[in-house]
Amino acid sequence: MDHGGATAPAAPLAAPSTASSAPPPASYTCRVERVGGLWYAGNSRTRQQNLAVGNAGPEVAEAQCLLRRAGVSPGGIDGIFGPLTEHAVKELQRRSGLVVDGMVGPHTWKVLRG
């Protein structure tokens, strides 16, 4: 159907949003201290929670701080269990004679906390 060369007005473009729908990245600090013979970094007190690539949160930040304390760099302390954290976990497991699976479970927590 011809409208004599007239075109329909374009839909208005949405203005770019300055606010992200994703929450801002969490900020974690390492306040490593020995309590009751165990190391804690002030993000979580867990000794059992299983962590693996794809997990995120304070438990991951806790593991990252304790990995750093153990002399294995997990990269930044961002609370995100990515490839650098996995590599650090595997190195700690190798050094400690644990099964090298790159996941933090009770045995790896025991080494991190000990």
Provide mean pLDDT across the span 11-35.
69
The radius of gyration computed from the CA coordinates of the chain, to the nearest angstrom, equals 23
Task: Quote the pLDDT of residue 17.
Answer: 46
Q: What are the boundaries of each domain within the chain?
A: 33-113
Q: Measured between alpha carbons, how far is 55 from 79 in angstroms, rounded to an integer?
A: 8
pLDDT in tens, 44-56: 999 999 999 999 9
pLDDT for 95: 98
Residue 35 clears pLDDT 60, i.e. is over it: yes
Q: Which CATH class is domain 33-113?
A: mainly alpha
H-run or E-run covering 38: strand 38-40
**Is residue 89 over pLDDT 70?**
yes
Q: Is 6 exposed, middle or buried (0-12, 13-18, 19+ CB in 10 A)?
A: exposed
35 touches 73 (CB < 8 A): no
Min mean pLDDT across 24-28, 42-46, 100-104 is at: 24-28
